[in-house]
Amino acid sequence: MKWALTQEIPPCKDKWVSVLGFDTVVKLVVHDFARISVASLERNKEWMEIQRMFPENVFRVAIQMRVIPPYLKRISSYLMPASWAVSRNLHSAQRLITPIVEERRRMETVNDPDYKPPNDFLQWLMDEAWNERDGQPAELVHRLLVLALASVHTTSMTATQVLYDIIAHPEYLEPLREEILQALKEDGGWQKTTLTKMRKLDSFMKESQRLNGPSLIGFKRAAMEDITLSDGTVLPKGVHMVVPVVPISLESVTPDPGVFQGFRFYYERQKPGQSNLHQFAMTDKNNMHFGHGKYSCPGRFFAAHAIKILIAHLILNYDFKFPEGKSRPGNLLAHEYCFPDPTAHILVKERDSPWSI
């Protein structure tokens, strides 16, 4: 992550430098995902650009398709520049990944006792392929990019909102830094347990998400048969249903729901019997940003860890503020999706005493 920071944040040792907030966070998240997706490509700029642009291009296609009549969708998909970009992303990814898959397969057949398969997403997909088709490079590439689609921008959106809220509420900055440093000192650096000790940061992330969820609605379902609710309401077969996740987060079930309280959930966890509850990656009937129940987002734990690591590195190594006369950027809506303003700038300066652990 430290290398990624030097690549995406301009030199700012003794001066404030303006950067695009959302764009910078996206690129940092891509660095992280590139490393765990295909280890040998962790610093490959083309691979990182594919992972950054593929989700954006797919989203553009999906939004454009919504306004096109069903009978024109197939032909329209061949006429959209964003659709062409998706195809280019796939072809470029296959060109990069296919030789790596073939080399790993070859190493598996030579029975070299010193060979240790890389511990990355690509290897997991290769190992868990159910049949020959699932193990083909083209299929593996599709799955890797679907993982990027599900991970990169959703994680980046939440991380950007957290960073904006830290800048907007500077009174939380030092307590967060102190907690992070204490956890790192206790564990002698980054360990899995280190992240679980960052309870204030976890609470801050959850509160930021509560007020700035990535989607206004969630829990999208279609009735496969007629469903009768407890009050007698009948949902006919084929009807589509959604849950208003953001309005639920802002209802009276939460004390002072319109007020940002960064440590709201940290204090909830101090109560008897509540220590392991109210965590960022947890879901319940009043918090469905990650869904709820059997089909909750399986990547929410990865997202929680990735955001904690990113935010910790940022606030331990840099100071941030909004440009003169500017306040926290508002959000942009695209249909039901809620994005941090991609045009908003923030100012960044390297700290005099950056993190040295």
pLDDT of residue 355: 62
- Could you give the CA distance from residue 22 to residue 324 in angstroms, rounded to a whole number? 19
pLDDT score for 356: 56
- pTM of this structure: 0.92
CA gap 307, 309 in Å, rounded? 5
pLDDT at 72: 92
Q: How many residues does the chain have?
A: 357
Alpha-carbon distance of 241 to 222, in angstroms, equals 6
Residue ranges of the annotated binding site are 297
What CATH number should be reported for the domain whose range is 19-350?
A: 1.10.630.10
Q: Give the pLDDT confidence score for residue 77 in this predicted structure.
A: 87
The DSSP secondary structure of 114-130, one letter per residue, reads: T-----SHHHHHHHT-S
- Sketch the domain layout of the chain as residue ranges: 19-350
DSSP 8-state secondary structure symbol assigned to residue 322:
P
Nearest C-alpha neighbor of 172 from the set 145, 208, 142:
208
Contact 265, 278 (CB under 8 A): yes
Write out the binding residues for heme.
297
Tens digit of pLDDT for each residue in 58-101? 999 999 999 999 999 999 988 999 999 999 999 999 999 999 99
What pLDDT score was predicted for residue 132?
Answer: 87
pLDDT at residue 207 in the model? 97
Q: What is the mean pLDDT of each run of 10 residues along the chain (357 residues)?
A: 89 94 96 92 94 94 92 90 95 97 92 89 92 91 94 94 98 97 94 94 97 90 94 94 89 86 95 93 90 89 95 96 95 91 96 68
Of 209, 227, 86, the residue nearest 154 (C-alpha): 209
| pLDDT at residue 95 in the model | 97
